[in-house]
Amino acid sequence: MSIAEIFETMEYGPAPESASPAVRWLEERGRTFRHFIGGEWREPSGGEFFDTDNPATNKPLARIAQGTREDVDAAVRAAREALPAWQALDGHGRARYLYALARHIQRHARLFAVLETMDNGKPIRESRDIDIPLVARHFYHHAGWAQLMETELPGHVGVGVIGQIIPWNFPLLMLAWKIAPALAMGNTVVLKPAEFTSLTALLFAEVCRDAGLPPGVVNVVTGDGRTGAAIVEHPDVDKIAFTGSTDVGRIIRVATAGSGKKLSLELGGKSPFIVFDDADLDSVVEGVVDAIWFNQGQVCCAGSRILAQEGIVDKLVARLRERMETLRVGDPLDKAVDIGAIVAPVQLEKITQLVNQGREEGATLWQPSWSCPQEGCFFPPTLFTDVAPSSTVAQVEIFGPVVVLMTFRTPSEAVALANNTPYGLAASVWTESLNLALDVAPKVLAGTVWVNSTNLFDAAAGFGGYRESGFGREGGKEGLWEYVKPRWEVEGKNGGAVRGRDDRKTKPAKADKARGNGAGPSLPPIDRTAKLYIGGKQARPDSGYAMPVYGAGDRLVGDVGLGNRKDVRNAVEAAHKARGWSRGTAHTRAQVIYYLAENLAARADEFTRRIAQLTGDEAGAEREVEASIRRLYTYGAWADKYDGQVHATPLRNVTIAMNEPIGVVSVACPDAAPLLGFVSAVIPAVAMGNAVVAVPSERWPLVATDFYQVLDTSDVPGGVINIVTGKRDELAETLASHDDVDALWYFGGAEGSTMVERLSAGNMKRTWVSYGRERDWFDGEQGEGREFLRQATHVKNIWVPYGE
């Protein structure tokens, strides 16, 4: 073929990448791989191995050890033994090791890239030019955070031994996303790679040894789901970091409930790709190629739902079909190939079944005229049109090179369609109007939004989901918080002890106790049962029952309503109606919180008397009211100062990390310090723009029912703060199960913490529980600050390219 013909047709011959270095590496190791534990290669205790195949040929590459509970136990023990010395090493020392890992990865970049492509099936161009450079970037970036940890995360220490379970779609990149921040913050790791794609993790284990990483700091145990379950259930693992399906994420949430393990989950997605009628369609078409046919569509944040404004649909479909005809599917080691192999026959079968189901449900399928290779696991790029928003292919994560196209008329309709899934991982917005893009991006329920771009990632920008796409972030400073905890929790400072089960129970009613204030046999006091506070109004409990409240000396000082499931439903509905609070300015929220402080100060004597009546400690009551006023001032200050960031991603774009409210946050408040505990737990969520359903102190709820009179006089919109009194664990159970509650904070016993974590798996709501550990609410380190603000927000990264 002449150069002129090539220029006209863009037809090129094959450009194969040599597999010989990877083949040699496999052969030198006998194509058999064991576990990497304590800096050594160890035989699997069960003697079991399984094959890992090349998906482009369906031929075996190597034999991989199947991990058992005994293998996991050995790896966790090695990590635990290595932990003290690794944590004792200063940040600079850990930075040096992370830097060395980055350099070694770069030194072996070609080997890593070829091995990844052979094991996973992704095109060599992607593994060579995207995955491996990002892997090195993560280790470099987190070397810097290790260096800065002492000054930028003061008062925090590493969590401990981290169990990490990664998927098969980005085997080495997911490893870097998890191991780099964990090591930087002073943790040790037990990593389980996906059973389909373990080879680059095992090569990385060799790199750890060659770089001189202390034995036990990184351990790699291979195997299937049984191995992952053993890591999740191991009692000496302090945190689980998982990337994978939402279904497995639910299982892990339930399995870890009550264990005290930290948990971060990056789960499934069905990301919208929103195209407005002023978008540059040439850029849009290439964006679709990157969004859904990158890595064969096996990307959790793949732009698998195109939402196109009606006026440009026909043009867009025509251009997409034309572009799809030019895509190349074939040998992943060919540098001219666009789409490689599906990871395994089981995944190929799943994709095929879902595509057939979409066609059966009435969607119109279009695929290019050419055929895929018959050998190996290949599937052609696929476009569905005439798709109903409720259809299977529009709702279910296919995890393959399949995209559906739907239409909208207005921006508000686009947002409604975009949010019409249980997921919330990522989205992209295509328009030439920056004003429109920045109006739509915050309304889309997703952890990352790209503007006129897609599938951009960097170590400086956090990534993670909303709703059933999981919680926690990976990358950026926000990702570091997943691997640290407050130092006081470790040292047991002033209240770090774990509370017993029974010391918070309400005292039983006593028939011989007279109501009132003990003023003598004159007139009896006016009987008053404090009501619930829902939607800005006092509300009688649905049950019609009241709960006695005892003060100092077991004196009966009043009753409160006994809230139930229907009261919780009403409170959650009222909170959803108050969503305008999140759309208001941070300045307005600050002013309202300052106003609360002002009005509480005006009634300080009244609240002091009430707390003293309940606790019998007049000096302590006065101190608590003063501390509550100060805390309100603290969150009035933070309301408009808890800023996002502009990340320094090494691309020509502005990456805006926005702190966004979670939505409806339910808070089961502590018994200790009934006013200060209520203010400390509820107001940070409100300051960040959330609406709250609060269950006040079960022992002394009257302080909270007094406080709603302060709310009434402080311009707090109805529904922003709702108060449901009653049995804390009964109400928390309802809130944890409620699918319209977005997060639940629980400051109670260990048993209740377990229940909250287990039941939250229904809609994968974020949870923050105390496991029975008491906080000192008067202490600034434990009772206020950035920890509360982080728990009250999502971080959304919006990527905005610039320049002509």
**Identified catalytic residue from 116, 195, 300, 482:** 300
Residue in 126, 195, 266, 474 annotated catalytic: 266
**134 close to 176: Cβ distance less than 8 angstroms:** yes
Structure-token pair, residue 680? 């400390």
Phi/psi at 767 (nearest 5 deg)?
A: -130, 150
Secondary structure class of 379 (helix, strand, coil): coil
User: Do residues 72 and 190 make contact, with C-beta atoms less than 8 angstroms apart?
Assistant: yes
Closest CA to 532 of 564, 565, 563: 563
Separation CA 288–CA 708 (nearest Å): 51
CA 558 to each of CA 436, 509, 705: distance values in angstroms, whole numbers, following the listed order:
54, 11, 11
Sign of the Cα torsion 526, 527, 530, 536 reads negative
Longest dimension (CA), the chain: 112
Contact between 134 and 457 under an 8 Å Cβ cutoff? The reply is yes
CA atoms of 105 and 111, how far apart (whole Å): 9
List for the chain the helix, strand, coil content (%; round to 5). 45, 20, 35
C-alpha 543/C-alpha 563 separation (Å) is 7
Query: From CA 167, how far away is CA 564, in angstroms rounded?
Result: 41
Q: Give the pair of three-digit tokens for residue 540.
A: 């009688």
End-to-end CA distance of the chain: 36
Please name every residue paired with 163 in a beta bridge, in sequence order, or none if there are none: 190, 240
Compute the distance between CA of residue 167 and CA of residue 195 in angstroms, rounded to an integer. Answer: 9
Rounded CA gap, 794 and 473, in Å? 9
Tokens of 367: 């695929």
What residues are paired with 546 via a beta bridge? 561
Which value, in Å, is the radius of gyration of the alpha carbons in the chain? Answer: 28
Q: Within 10 Å of residue 749's Cβ, how many Cβ atoms?
A: 24
**Token pair of 660, please?**
């966004």
Active site residue 300: yes
5 catalytic residue (yes or no): no
Contact 197, 175 (CB under 8 A): no
Quick check: 136 and 175 in contact, CB under 8 A? Answer: no
CA distance 262 to 277: 44
Q: Do the Cβ atoms of 581 and 717 come closer than 8 Å?
A: yes
Can you tell me the distance from the alpha carbon of 454 to that of 435, in angstroms, rounded to the nearest whole number?
19
Cβ atoms of 564 and 541 closer than 8 Å: yes
Distance CA(744)–CA(762), nearest Å, equals: 13
What residues does 485 pair with on adjacent strands?
157
What's the half-sphere exposure (Cβ side, CA atoms, 13 Å) at 203?
31
Q: Which residue shows structure tokens 């699918």? A: 739
Which sequence positions are flagged as catalytic?
Answer: 266, 300
